[in-house]
């Protein structure tokens, strides 16, 4: 009989301290040592979601952490997912499915309904795995949110986890962040902290002097690791590389980056390869200088469409689509490129007239399609997934199926699909490059990710505390 180890929990002094990447590293490191390990995050907030084998929706960070752990992704690893779809509203996903009633409840009133589901998921994971590695959210020192906490110290106390508190030293102020966060915790919570972690360190470690000894004198807690700034080619949970600009002589592809853009990690296969210069476009500019444009998914297609009209990108997209160059719309992007978005149930932003560059009409339905797909295309297999409320229909016979009937369509140079994760497949990447008249150097993205996870685990084994 396997004896379960105490859960390891990684908390951060701030958002973006590197919790997700550290949990990913630990999961791969322990899996490589032959330990049956699983990730857990009680509640995540992200519009980058993944679909499990049984059609459930979880955060992409936990999906990647499960892959790192060499186990099957499950809703038990992320029982609550919040997907922002307006300034003050998020769709709430409970155990992989939309819960409309909880979505419409005040924030602080949700805990009594959600907390039992969190405990059930955590308990089941602990029963099936030798080691559970838990990720917190934001900071446990956010006093205003403590009453409704279901993801930080409430979880740590419930399972008596060994907690490690992480600070992003690249931002500066790390020792103040660590000391201040520790000081904001209750005494019983402080007792769970086993070590402080400095993350994203660059430069000479000797410059830290005796600061770690000073911190331990104040708190009684040692600094157990100083992790270097690790450049990787793994998907980011929420951020996207926005600093890229148009480059002379390159194959420049515009990625239209509107509010509520979702599942942006599916373009990492473009971002991290050298053949294309992927340029996020957030404001009005002349798109004619680009070789292709992509409209990504959106958690609120109506509001994203409104943004395009507000900044004047709508007319630029229409002009580009009429130029004969490749225009690709994924999920919400598909809906925006169509003629009409009907919203009879007020799920998003009401009825909207689309850009009208492909003869499709979309109606937003109550039930969300969430499923993995494996499709034969161009003599190979595409692994992808669906995650959408929209149901689209053809308005005339100028539109033909693309990849798979009823979820993808083509009209001249306009290509659309409800499938996410297309660029993870070498066959689709190569098709895309062929349309641009350049070399087809698609790679096996899953193999690439696996190698990156091993490289991350090697870094942690050298500099971490396990």
Q: Which of 13, 331, 388, 389 is catalytic?
A: 331
Count of beta carbons in the 10 Å neighbourhood of residue 444: 11
110 DSSP 8-state letter: S
Q: Work out the burial of residue 364: count CB atoms within 10 Å of its CB; fewer than 13 is exposed, 13-18 middle, 19 or more buried.
A: buried
- CA-based end-to-end distance of the chain: 23
Interacting residues of 220 by C-beta distance below 8 A, sequence separation 6+: none
Is 339 a catalytic site residue?
no
CA-to-CA dists, residue 402 to 30, 216, 293, 409, 417, angstroms: 42, 61, 17, 4, 7
Q: Which of 177, 230, 388, 420 is catalytic?
A: 420
Q: Work out the burial of residue 59: count CB atoms within 10 Å of its CB; fewer than 13 is exposed, 13-18 middle, 19 or more buried.
A: buried
Q: Are 137 and 11 in contact (CB under 8 A)?
A: no
Whole-angstrom distance, CA of residue 317 vs CA of residue 307: 13
User: In 96-222, which ranges are E strands?
Assistant: 97-98, 131-135, 162-168, 193-201
Is 366 a catalytic site residue?
no
Q: Are 335 and 416 in contact (CB under 8 A)?
A: no
Structural tokens at position 286? 């002349």
Q: Are 155 and 134 in contact (CB under 8 A)?
A: yes
Counting every residue written for the chain, the total comes to 466
Q: Which of 50, 10, 384 is nearest to 192 (CA)?
A: 10
Q: Which residues are known catalytic residues? A: 331, 420
């Amino acid at each position: 009989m396997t004896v379960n180890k105490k859960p390891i929990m990684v908390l951060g002094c701030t958002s973006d301290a590197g919790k997700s990447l550290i949990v990913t590293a630990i999961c791969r490191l322990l899996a490589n040592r032959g330990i049956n390990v699983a990730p857990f995050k009680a509640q995540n907030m992200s519009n980058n979601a993944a679909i499990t084998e049984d059609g459930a929706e979880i955060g992409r960070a936990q999906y990647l952490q499960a892959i790192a752990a060499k186990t099957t992704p499950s809703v038990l690893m992320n029982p609550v997912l919040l997907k922002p779809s307006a300034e003050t509203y998020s769709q709430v996903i409970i155990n992989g499915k939309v819960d409309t009633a909880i979505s419409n409840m005040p924030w602080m009133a949700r805990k009594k309904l959600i907390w039992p589901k969190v405990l059930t998921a955590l308990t089941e994971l602990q029963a099936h795995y030798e080691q559970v590695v838990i990720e917190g959210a934001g900071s446990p020192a956010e006093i205003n949110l403590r009453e409704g906490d279901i993801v930080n110290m409430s979880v740590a106390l419930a399972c008596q986890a060994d907690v490690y508190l992480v600070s992003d030293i690249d931002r500066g102020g790390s020792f103040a962040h660590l000391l201040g966060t520790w000081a904001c915790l209750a005494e019983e919570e402080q007792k769970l902290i086993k070590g402080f972690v400095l993350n994203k360190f660059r430069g000479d470690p000797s410059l830290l002097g005796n600061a770690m000894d000073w911190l331990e004198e104040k708190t009684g807690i040692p600094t157990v690791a100083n992790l270097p700034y690790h450049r990787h080619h793994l998907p980011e949970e929420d951020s996207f590389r926005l600093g890229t600009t148009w480059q002379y002589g390159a194959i420049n592809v515009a990625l239209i980056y509107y509010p509520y853009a979702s599942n942006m990690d599916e373009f990492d296969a473009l971002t991290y390869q050298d053949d294309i210069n992927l340029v996020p476009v957030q404001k009005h500019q002349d798109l004619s200088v680009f070789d292709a444009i992509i409209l990504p998914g959106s958690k609120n297609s109506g509001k994203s469409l409104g943004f395009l009209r507000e900044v004047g990108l709508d007319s630029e997209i229409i002009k580009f689509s009429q130029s004969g160059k490749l225009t690709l719309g994924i999920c919400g992007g598909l809906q925006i490129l169509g003629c009409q978005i009907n919203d009879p149930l007020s799920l998003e932003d009401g009825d909207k007239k689309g850009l009208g560059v492909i003869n499709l009409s979309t109606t937003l339905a109550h039930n969300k399609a969430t499923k993995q797909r494996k499709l034969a295309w161009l003599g190979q297999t595409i692994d992808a997934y669906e995650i959408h409320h929209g149901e689209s229909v053809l308005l005339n016979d100028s539109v033909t199926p693309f990849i798979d009937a009823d979820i993808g369509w083509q009209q001249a140079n306009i290509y659309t699909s409800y499938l996410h994760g297309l660029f993870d497949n070498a066959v689709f990447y190569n098709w895309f490059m062929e349309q641009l008249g350049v070399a087809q150097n698609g790679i096996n993205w899953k193999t690439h990710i696996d190698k990156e996870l091993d490289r991350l685990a090697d870094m942690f084994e050298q500099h971490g505390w396990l």
